[in-house]
């Protein structure tokens, strides 16, 4: 009986993956964009903004944003969006980081913190490190224990390297030019380490986006800006400290000010929006399969899609199986929240 059961299961699986699923098995849910209807306190929610920082907090199941800029100037406020209730709450802390835009932000899992680095202020650039304690909702500055540190900059990209407990960042810009250096900030030892290899590396750039390939132990970077938009994809081996370009077709149109998240269930990066020098502001969605290193354009179902934008942020919510985007700009500046839903299969029903 057991052998027969296994044979039947194998046939069913073959039919499913061949596209002939049984009528009794529901098909995968279609990708779909949905605008998240949020609520805010009487004082209002976060103002429209661009070039801010954002993370996903898996403990509190919330998205946090900091800083950015809008028509009123450069911002230094912190907001939390509860993903269970879709309610915004402002986090008020004294001290807090100086106002900035073009910063990088990561989630420091062992310490349950949001960590930010660098950015541009009203009259210059920064290379400081701050941490928001997500239990106490309190900011504090981290002073590196070594003199070595990345130069002041904005528009770099960073990931959290969970195997080595460090922030890893690449590239950026100041009024003295662009960078293509790679640095790690040891979150336990609180010190910077220059990882820049002497050999092959991506060209200098800023305004790029990045994600961690957990299984491949790599930082993936995509595009950004040099004199115009770039359209290349690179992988940084976090063990060997070596860069390799990812090539293949098709590829997304080049862009800067886009947003990329890592989706672990399918081991892929998911990309939305950005600015293309010739095409203008974009509203397309792409996925990078990190097993095959191949890009594929995603076509969500329905006619509803976020307005084209650049300078937005994105996080991946594994509980909701969705990518969330916030803010950005086109002809208008936004403070809306959108979700690309059904990125992962629905959890199996419990017997």
Position 18 scores a pLDDT of: 34
What is the arithmetic mean of pLDDT over 5-25?
35
Which CATH class name applies to 32-341?
Answer: mainly beta
Which pLDDT score, from 0 to 100, does residue 7 have? 35
DSSP assignment of 226-275, as one string?
A: SSSEEEEEEEEETTTTEEEEE--SS-PPP-BS-EEEEEGGGTEEEEEEEE
Checking DSSP bridges between strand 294-298 and strand 313-317, what pairing results, if any?
unpaired
pLDDT digits 0-9 by tens, 134-178:
999 999 999 999 899 999 999 999 999 999 999 999 999 999 899
Beta carbons within 8 Å of 189's beta carbon, 6+ residues apart: 145
Q: What are the residue boundaries of the structural domains of the chain, listed by start?
A: 32-341
Distances (CA, A) of 8 to 2, 11, 235: 10, 5, 42
The CA distance from 46 to 201, in Å, is: 38
pLDDT for res 345: 87
């Amino acid at each position: 009986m057991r052998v027969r059961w296994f044979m039947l299961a194998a046939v069913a699986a073959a039919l499913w993956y061949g596209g002939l699923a049984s009528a009794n098995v529901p098909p995968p849910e279609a990708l779909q964009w949905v605008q998240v209807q949020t609520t805010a306190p009487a004082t209002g929610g976060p103002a429209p903004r661009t070039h801010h920082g954002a993370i996903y907090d898996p403990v509190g199941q919330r998205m946090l944003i900091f800083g950015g800029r809008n028509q009123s100037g450069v911002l230094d406020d912190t907001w939390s969006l509860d993903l269970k209730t879709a309610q915004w709450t402002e986090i008020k802390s004294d001290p807090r980081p100086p106002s900035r835009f073009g910063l990088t932000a990561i989630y420091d899992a062992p310490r349950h913190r949001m960590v930010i680095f660098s950015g541009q202020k009203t009259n210059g650039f920064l290379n400081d490190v701050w941490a928001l304690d997500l239990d106490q909702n309190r900011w504090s500055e981290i002073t590196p224990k070594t003199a070595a540190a990345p130069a002041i900059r904005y528009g770099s990209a960073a990931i959290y390297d969970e195997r080595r407990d460090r922030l890893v960042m690449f590239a950026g810009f100041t009024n003295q030019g662009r960078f293509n250096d790679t640095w790690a900030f040891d979150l336990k030892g609180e010190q910077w380490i220059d990882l820049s290899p002497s050999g092959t590396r991506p060209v200098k750039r800023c305004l790029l986006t990045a994600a961690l390939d957990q299984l491949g132990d790599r930082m993936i970077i995509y595009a950004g800006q040099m004199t115009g938009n770039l359209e290349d994809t690179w992988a940084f081996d976090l063990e060997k400290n070596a860069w390799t370009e990812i090539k293949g077709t098709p590829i997304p149109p080049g862009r800067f000010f886009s947003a990329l998240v890592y989706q672990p269930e399918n081991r892929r990066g998911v990309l939305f929006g950005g600015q293309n020098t010739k095409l203008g502001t974009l509203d397309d969605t792409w996925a990078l399969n990190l097993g095959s290193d191949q890009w594929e354009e995603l076509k969500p179902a329905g006619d509803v899609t976020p307005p084209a934008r650049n300078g937005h942020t994105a996080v991946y919510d594994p509980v909701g199986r969705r990518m969330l985007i916030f803010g950005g700009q086109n002809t208008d500046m936004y403070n809306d929240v959108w979700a690309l839903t059904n990125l992962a299969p629905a959890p199996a029903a419990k017997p």
